[in-house]
Structure 1
Amino acid sequence: MKSDRSDHPAFAETLKRRVLQGPGETDPALRQRVAARAAGGPPIEAPYDNLARQIGEAASGTTDAQVANVLAAVRSEKAAFELIAAAATGAALLRWERAIKALEEAGHAST
């Protein structure tokens, strides 16, 4: 029997729902587009595209200018944070899904 502590797919779904669909200063649809872009999805409107793409590729390369451009567009540090968190969540969930797939494929290959 699987315990609640190891139900990682449920945890991932809860995280996704809360960050991308939950209440916030930003429109959930924008947060979802930002997350999708960070996960390699299609380009979105400026200035969100540049920041989301960079977070998805390599968050450590994110510049002050990218953050400042988003902050200027949304006019709130909280809103800017929500979008940064959405991008990070989108990128993280993509990597997690790829890791799970690789583990499953490795498990099937060993049988």
Structure 2
Amino acid sequence: MENTIKWKSKVITSANIIRMICGTNIPCGGDSGHGGKTILKLVDECSTCWNVYVNGQLIENSPNSVTIEMQGDSEGETLIEALEKAVEYLKEIKSKNTEKYAILQNNK
């Protein structure tokens, strides 16, 4: 089986600019020994204010890029599911915060 990682990239622009690069070659038939990898990379293209923590410790302040590499089919699948849930939850929370902010602005 071919283990070539297929890549996608997108530049996301707001007050800052980040490039999201992701790729995977799963399924490869099992754990990391079978060669499966799923990679997510975020690159600061302009004015991104962020910190990187590992095990609760600040590792880097305003890094140029951050990469997460999952090795194995299961690890890739769980990363994908975790990212899907994170998007769902963050949008839900943002929506509630936006409603609360609008109410506060209207009461000024």
Q: TM-score range by the shorter chain?
A: 0.3 to 0.5
Q: Which has the higher helix share?
A: 1
Q: Normalising to structure 1: TM-score of the pair? A: 0.34
Ranked by relative contact order (alpha carbons within 8 Å, sequence separation 6 or more), the top structure is 1
The structure with the larger Rg is 2
Query: By percentage of residues, which structure has more strand?
Result: 2
